[in-house]
Structure 1
Amino acid sequence: MRLSELSERSGVSTATIKYYLRERLLPPGRRVTATQSEYDEDHLRRLRLVRAMIQVGGVPVATAREVLAHVDDESLGLTMRLGAATWALPQLPEAPVDDAAAADARQEVERLLEELGWDSAREIGDLSPVYRALVTWLATLSSLGYAVSAAELLPYARQMEQIARCDMDQLENYPAGAEQVEMAVAAQVLYDPLLLSLRRLALEAETARRYGIV
């Protein structure tokens, strides 16, 4: 397809597509003349991902470029490729905490992961920005008087485990390699706000069920 068709099918203006090409967020098309190139379904899929990251997720261009570099890194196994790509996305902020509070929180996280049998998460540990964020936010909650134990987190984590299985089941509907990693990135950008909205809506419904609507 030519640039105009790529623009029409993706809903992205030709000027924006050219910008993404210049910024190396989109691979160049196949040159057919000195001034024209052809694009295919891979370009359309990648363009949708770029649009999701930048226009919907607010991901900076430089960060999006880093994410896509991991998406295309065939030297990594799928687990590390997925991890590197999603870790490169903007993460939950890590709250500043003192060393003692962080140490206590780390122990709770380790107890939780051991109970869940999430051995790989324990092995990766501080390499994961998600692990670090969980530690620092547990420490912050404790310092504010809202301490949460591993036992209290366990039922929530079990539900998250089910969601993760659903995510991976959907992911395996796509061809292995870059397309699966692209879908994992898109899911994190687009589904995290969706799941948060569902959680809050479920809480509203459960509150009304227990106490009625007054």
Structure 2
Amino acid sequence: MRIGELSRRTGVPVPTIKYYVREGLLPAGQLTSPNQASYGETHEHRLRLIRALLDVGGLKVSAIAEVLAAVDDPGRSVHKILGVATDLLVARYPESGDGTSLAASRAQVSELIARRGWRVGEDCPAREALATALTALERVGHQEFAGVMDSYADAAEIAARADLGYVGGSAGVDAVVERAIVGTVLGDAMLDALRHLAQVSISAGMYEARRAATEGAASGPG
């Protein structure tokens, strides 16, 4: 296909496609004449992946290049490639609080991972993100909230299995990574919304029912 058709099929403007080629994110098309090039399905799949990394994942061009290099590395397993892509989505927070509190939180995270038998490397950025959250809880006087961490971990396992079940239904590494990015980012948005809906419903059951019972008792025979 010509670059115009590639643009129509992917929704990516022609100048943007040319920019991706110049930056090395997208392979150049096969020259059919001095001023014409032909593009195939491989280019289409790669463009969709780039847009997912950029528009959904919010990654910068340098980070996208890092992911694509991993995708194109024949020595990397799919697990390692997904690690490169999804690790970039984990929020990085500046260290806060004293070093002793953060060290204790890191130990707590390591204990959780060991207790649940999770296979997670020491360099996984989510470990530090969780430790930072635990430290913040302590700093604001709500360290007891960490007592529900295993319940959160139970829910996280269910969500992760759903994520990877969706990812596993695709063919080709580009499609796997694209689905992982979309599923992680928009899956988080879905999970946040569902959590809030559940909170509203459960709160109504807990507090509105209690208030109705109290008001009923107050207006009873007397």
- TM bracket (short chain): 0.7 to 0.9
Identity of aligned residues (%): 38
Q: Give the TM-score of the pair, scaled to structure 2.
A: 0.83
**In structure 2, do the counterparts of structure 1 residues 158 and 193 end up closer, same or farther at CA, with 3 Å as the change threshold?**
same
**In structure 2, do the counterparts of structure 1 residues 21 and 186 end up closer, same or farther at CA, with 3 Å as the change threshold?**
farther
For the Cα contact (< 8 Å) 1:138–1:148, is it kept in 2? no
Residues 169-184 of structure 1 mapped to structure 2, 5 A cutoff = 169-175=165-171, 177-184=173-180
Deviation readout 1:116-169 (Å, 9 max, x if unpaired): 221x12xx12x1111111112211211121215664200111111011111122
Residues 48-197 of structure 1 mapped to structure 2, 5 A cutoff = 48-87=48-87, 89-97=88-96, 98-118=98-118, 120-121=119-120, 124-125=121-122, 127-148=123-144, 151-175=147-171, 177-197=173-193
For the Cα contact (< 8 Å) 1:52–1:190, is it kept in 2? no
User: Displacement, 1:9?
Assistant: 1.2
Which residue of structure 1 aligns with residue 215 of structure 2? none
The residue identity in structure 1 corresponding to 2:13 is: S
Corresponding residue SS for 2:143: coil
Q: 5+ unaligned residues in a row in structure 1: which ranges?
A: none
**In structure 2, do the counterparts of structure 1 residues 55 and 168 end up closer, same or farther at CA, with 3 Å as the change threshold?**
closer
The residue identity in structure 1 corresponding to 2:90 is: Q
Greater gyration radius: 2
- What is the Cα-based RMSD across aligned positions, in Å? 2.3
Instruction: Find the aligned partners of 1:69 and 1:189 in 2 and give their Cα distance.
Output: 21
Which residue of structure 1 aligns with residue 10 of structure 2? 10
Q: Give the TM-score of the pair, scaled to structure 1.
A: 0.85
User: Displacement, 1:68?
Assistant: 1.6
User: Displacement, 1:33?
Assistant: 1.8
Runs of 4+ residues over 3 Å off in structure 1: 148-151, 176-179, 208-214
The residue identity in structure 2 corresponding to 1:105 is: S
Instruction: Find the aligned partners of 2:113 and 2:195 in 1 and give their Cα distance.
Output: 23
User: Displacement, 1:211?
Assistant: 3.6
